[in-house]
Structure 1
Amino acid sequence: MTYIAESRATDENVNKIEDYEIPEPEPFISFNALKDRIRHHYELASDYYYSLWGEHIHHGYFLTPADTKEKAQVQLIDLLLEKSGLPKGSSVLDVGCGIGGTSRHLAKHHGCTVTGVTISGRQVEIARKLTAEAGGVKPDSPDAAVKLGDGSVKFIELDAEKMGEFFTTDKFDCVWISEAMSHLPNKELFFRNAAFLLKDGGKLVVADWFKDEGLTEKQFKDDISPIEDGMLLPPMCTQKGYVEMAEKAGLKVFAESFDISKQVSKTWDISWTLIQNPALWAFAVAQGRDGLAFMQAFRAMRRGFANGTFRYAVMAFQK
């Protein structure tokens, strides 16, 4: 299939997704090449994410029809705290922290000492700026922790798969990963690193996207493949797969997988409305194939949630 490659788009056509044919899936080259594409994506798109979604770039947990996306996003964090039983004042490694919304929330409202890591240097810049503003300080020492409430937070540019090598002496009460593990090619390595970095009794807290069990070839092709392609994901796992990898790494289940697909699916209804912004479509068109595939994946997300082929769950493990 072909796609429109103009660097500019008009208000008339950017609002019509039908005007853009779905690009063929990108041939797989290597996991390193995929990580480079992920890094590039977040370098370019993080400012757009912030303008559209605010500081919390993750799903919302909608409990009532009146919940705003901002309230629902905080409710997801609160759900993870509830399921994990994470004590106040814990030391937390927030993996795939984005622009630091969750890190700041854990520091300010739960008294945690948080280290946020992301593969994107641009996300680190935004996170540090927002954190300095929240703490009422000047970002003179970007590597220094900023005090928020009874906690503190700092950010580091780091490939999550190298965290076991980077934090050679640090141990944490919690490794927190929300909607980032699905991007990691070597998930077994992540679970091993998490187990290594946790203190005895420490918690691994997970929220992520999953494919459903026992999909047909057609279901996978129609719903999951476009999500993997557009969202720059290696092969997606099932919820059971995460549990098996965690147990293999020596962790035990603390909170069983809790499927909240119905409660978070509204996220993509809202997202679908937000991405009709002409400026965002112009940006996607300018990025070529990956930009268009990303935007087209929004439709697959909504379809996958509606069909039950695409799932969302939270879970927690303990060392």
Structure 2
Amino acid sequence: MINSRTKVGAASVADHYDELDPIYRALWGEHVHHGLWSNALEGPEQAVEALSDYVVDLLDPAPGSQLVDIGCGYGAAARRIARQRLVEVTGLTLSAAQATHSPPQPGVRLTVGDWLDNGLADQAFDAAYAIESSEHMADKPRFFSEAARVLKPGGRLVVCAWLAETNASPWKVRHLLEPICREGRLPSMGTREDYAGWADEAGLHLLDYKDLSRQVARTWTICLGRLVRALVTDGDIRTRVLSARNRVFAFSLPRLILAYRCGAIRYGVFAWQKA
């Protein structure tokens, strides 16, 4: 596991997303996660929806099911899943700004809260999913134990995660992985083996794993291009980026592009089931 050199807690993660909220929405939209491309013709908006659809296909919830979205962002995936599958979704985000900009929808309830101290009832949900949120949690074994606690027997958990390359070289750790953790407010970044071990300890049985690194890597090239254009042409975005406390995240965009190209970061999607 790769650890950030600086301490990252829930408050600093919330501050990151609250402060950068206008920038995220302007540059990427309501889905705060990677896109999933199956061909070169798809645009970013189609690609981010494709990732949400990939997740719900793995969950395969029956109509009327209760789902929990762990780290729901603006709730875009929750709203899409609720509409498509006729289910109810409870979402948690650390960011008050994200919750504020989430349009209401029947069957979707978003709250500001910390998954590691969520207060949800035992065995209350038929399925759970986390799209790129586990990385922001300091206690990753507790991330899994809480998921197992709130799931009903037989319930599924799907996790999309940024994963550190197993046995990454010291150069990759020093110049790519640790700075990405620090600049992106990730307390740590686990490997595929770390995630498998934590889930197993929580009593979750692995159903499926896919490495989708090649299909999602275009995300960061597009983001960097949009950021550079905005810095040149949009005075408001330029001012916000240059004055932001969390502006160091901009340095992670080229790092992420290189990390995907050299294999330092993998994009893994897991599906587990509670016994």
Contact kept in structure 2, 1:115 and 1:153, CA below 8 Å:
yes
Query: 1:159-218 CA distances to partner (integer Å, 9 max, x unpaired)?
Result: 11112xx11356101111000000000010110010000001101111010111111111
Contact kept in structure 1, 2:158 and 2:272, CA below 8 Å:
yes
Aligned equivalent of 2:52 = 77
Q: Which letter maps to 1:177?
A: A
Distance 1:243 1:155 in 2: 28
Contact kept in structure 2, 1:275 and 1:281, CA below 8 Å:
no
1:283 equivalent among 231, 240, 246: 240
Aligned equivalent of 1:162 = 117
Aligned equivalent of 2:75 = 100
Distance 2:258 2:193 in 1: 22
Aligned equivalent of 1:39 = 14
Query: 1:128-155 CA distances to partner (integer Å, 9 max, x unpaired)?
Result: xx23xxxxxxxxxxxxxx42xxxx1011
Distance 1:27 1:210 in 2: 18
Greater alpha carbon shift after TM alignment, 277-286 vs 57-66: 277-286
Distance 1:57 1:27 in 2: 25
Distance 2:69 2:37 in 1: 23
Contact kept in structure 1, 2:122 and 2:149, CA below 8 Å:
no
Q: Does 1:56 align with 2:31?
A: yes
Distance 1:102 1:88 in 2: 17
Aligned equivalent of 1:7 = none
Contact kept in structure 1, 2:56 and 2:81, CA below 8 Å:
no
Contact kept in structure 1, 2:123 and 2:152, CA below 8 Å:
no
Distance 2:154 2:5 in 1: 42
Q: Does 1:185 align with 2:138?
A: yes
Aligned equivalent of 2:218 = 266
Question: What's the secondary structure of 1:275's corresponding residue?
Answer: helix
Paired residues, number: 267
Q: Which letter maps to 1:271?
A: C
Query: 1:291-316 CA distances to partner (integer Å, 9 max, x unpaired)?
Result: 1x200001100000011111101111
Aligned equivalent of 1:65 = 40
Distance 1:87 1:62 in 2: 27
Distance 1:247 1:55 in 2: 33
TM-score (norm 1): 0.80
1:314 equivalent among 260, 269, 273: 269
Contact kept in structure 2, 1:88 and 1:111, CA below 8 Å:
yes
Q: Which letter maps to 2:90?
A: T
Q: Does 1:229 align with 2:182?
A: yes
Shift of 1:280: 3.0
Q: 1:108 to 1:95 in 2, by over 3 A?
A: same
Contact kept in structure 2, 1:174 and 1:203, CA below 8 Å:
yes
State the structure with more CA Rg: 1
List alignment gaps of at least 5 residues for structure 2.
none
Contact kept in structure 1, 2:20 and 2:244, CA below 8 Å:
no
Q: Does 1:115 align with 2:90?
A: yes
Shift of 1:86: 3.3
Q: 1:27 to 1:258 in 2, by over 3 A?
A: closer
